[in-house]
Amino acid sequence: MKKMILLNPGPATTTDTVKYAQVVPDICPREEDFGGIMLSVSTELTMLVGDPAQYTTVLFGGSGTAAVESILSSVIGEDVVIIINNGAYGKRMCEIAAVYGLHVMEFVSPSDSPVNLSELEAMMKRSSQKITHLAVVHHETTTGLLNDIPSIGELCRRHGIDMIVDAMSSYAALPIDMGPMNISYLAASSNKNVQGMAGISFVIADTSKLESKKERKPRSYYLDLYAQHKHFSETGQMRFTPPVQTFYALKQALVELKEEGVQQRYARYTQSWEALIRGIKRLGLKHLVEEKHHSRIVTSILEPDCDSYSFGDMHDEMYSQGFTIYPGKLNGMNTFRIANIGDITYRDIEAFLALLERYLRRIGYYRG
Ligand SMILES: *Cc1c(COP(=O)(O)O)cnc(C)c1O
């Protein structure tokens, strides 16, 4: 099959074996055989970040936002949730919380530098209302900024706050250990670093914390986290029709993830990222976030300051050559984004850099 190099931050380039894993005989998902697949997938997903004796994975059909929305709408009561907003995905959590009328304290932080932990702690101490939860994005896909989850988790531990982490673009690449990091609820999806197909999102929860929500009146019917968990643990089934073929692809993607190993996968991504950073520097371009705070997964690059530059033209030229690049998502700053996730290597990044050089020469920006 023709290989398209997706440099957008997910869905990522997949292997042919993951693509073809979807071609299976028709099966009713209510059959025990299919329940077994969902159970093994959910256990594998848990084991990447915690002990299945203590944590559980709750599966949903939907894009990643479904998992984030399920946590926010299901586990927070009438008390306050602090939401850290340092990019589009932190902002999205604030928007979700507003839809459900949650009591939010928004902690706004710059999109290109680390969260100020003493200011965050001051917010916790200052509050006259009870703060029960804090929600934060692990890796802000908007910029490539990595939030310091261990330190934020430690603050939460000190103040008796349950931490919710949107780990959509870090899960399966960066090491995550829910216990030591003090993560109570984590959201991720099938189509980023897991390198599966889009369509499955999941919540990994501290089982006893989730079970303590049993009596809570749900705010959402479809995204009710406790109900989804209860139904799956009692019947081995999702409450509603699962994306059947996407599960077969996810099962294969998890086999391939195990073969490669999370650490090795991140080493491969890092090698691609280093090639990218060397390349853009050579071409006179700058990236937004300092290397020290960078995820090495998605890079926000400042657009060339040049009249003849057009993201649309650059995109179309690359797309016709099999490379997909992505626009920026920052207010007030002109950036485009390059992700180095998926089934690609530094060689693909080098091929992209050759196309970028050709484009930048043509518009007269690069004359090296
Ligand atoms: C991709 C992503 C999401 C989910 O986006 P969907 O389009 O709903 O899959 C949420 N948070 C972060 C940080 C992401 O990178």
* Residue ranges covered by each domain of the chain: 17-258, 260-362
DSSP 287: B
Distance 357 CA to ligand 1 centre (A): 30
What is the number of the ligand 1 atom nearest to the C-alpha of 141? 15
Q: Which of 238, 204, 256 is nearest to 51 (CA)?
A: 204
190 lines ligand 1 (CB under 6 A): no
Distance 317 CA to ligand 1 centre (A): 26
Tell me, what's the pLDDT at 318?
97
Scanning the structure block, which residue is given the tokens 């490669």? 260
Please list, in sequence order, all residues whose beta carbon lies within 8 angstroms of the beta carbon of residue 35, skipping any fewer than 6 positions away.
Answer: 29, 235, 236, 237
Q: pTM for this structure? A: 0.98
Distance 282 CA to ligand 1 centre (A): 31
The best mutation among 65, 143, 174, 192 to test binding of ligand 1, ranked by most ligand atoms within 8 Å of the C-beta, falls on 65
Please list, in sequence order, all residues whose beta carbon lies within 8 angstroms of the beta carbon of residue 118, skipping any fewer than 6 positions away.
Answer: none
147 lines ligand 1 (CB under 6 A): no
Tell me, what's the pLDDT at 24?
97
What is the number of the ligand 1 atom nearest to the C-alpha of 198? 9
Each residue's pLDDT tens digit, 146-180:
999 999 999 999 999 999 999 999 999 999 999 99
Task: Give the Cα separation of 274 and 82 in Å (integer).
Answer: 35
Residue nearest to atom 2 of ligand 1 (CA): 168
**CATH classification of 260-362 is 3.90.1150.10, yes or no?**
yes
Task: Give the Cα separation of 301 and 337 in Å (integer).
Answer: 6
What is the number of the ligand 1 atom nearest to the C-alpha of 138? 13
Band of the pLDDT at 30, cuts 50, 70, 90? very high
Task: Give the Cα separation of 100 and 102 in Å (integer).
Answer: 6
The best mutation among 91, 138, 141, 164 to test binding of ligand 1, ranked by most ligand atoms within 8 Å of the C-beta, falls on 141
Tell me, what's the pLDDT at 98?
98
Average pLDDT score over residue span 178-200 = 98
Tell me, what's the pLDDT at 151?
98
Band of the pLDDT at 331, cuts 50, 70, 90? confident
Average pLDDT score over residue span 50-75 = 98
Inform me whether the pLDDT recorded for 332 exceeds 90.
Answer: no
Each residue's pLDDT tens digit, 228-268:
999 999 999 999 999 999 999 999 999 999 999 999 999 99
Distance 142 CA to ligand 1 centre (A): 10
Average pLDDT score over residue span 26-37 = 97
Give yes or no for a cis peptide into 9 (omega within 30° of 0).
no
Tell me, what's the pLDDT at 333?
84
The best mutation among 96, 146, 166, 300 to test binding of ligand 1, ranked by most ligand atoms within 8 Å of the C-beta, falls on 166
> What token pair was written down for 56?
């559980």
Tell me, what's the pLDDT at 330?
77
Band of the pLDDT at 188, cuts 50, 70, 90? very high
Give the chain's radius of gyration (CA, Å).
21
Q: What is the CATH number of domain 17-258?
A: 3.40.640.10
* Beta strands, E only, 128-174: 131-137, 139-140, 145-146, 162-166
Distance 299 CA to ligand 1 centre (A): 16
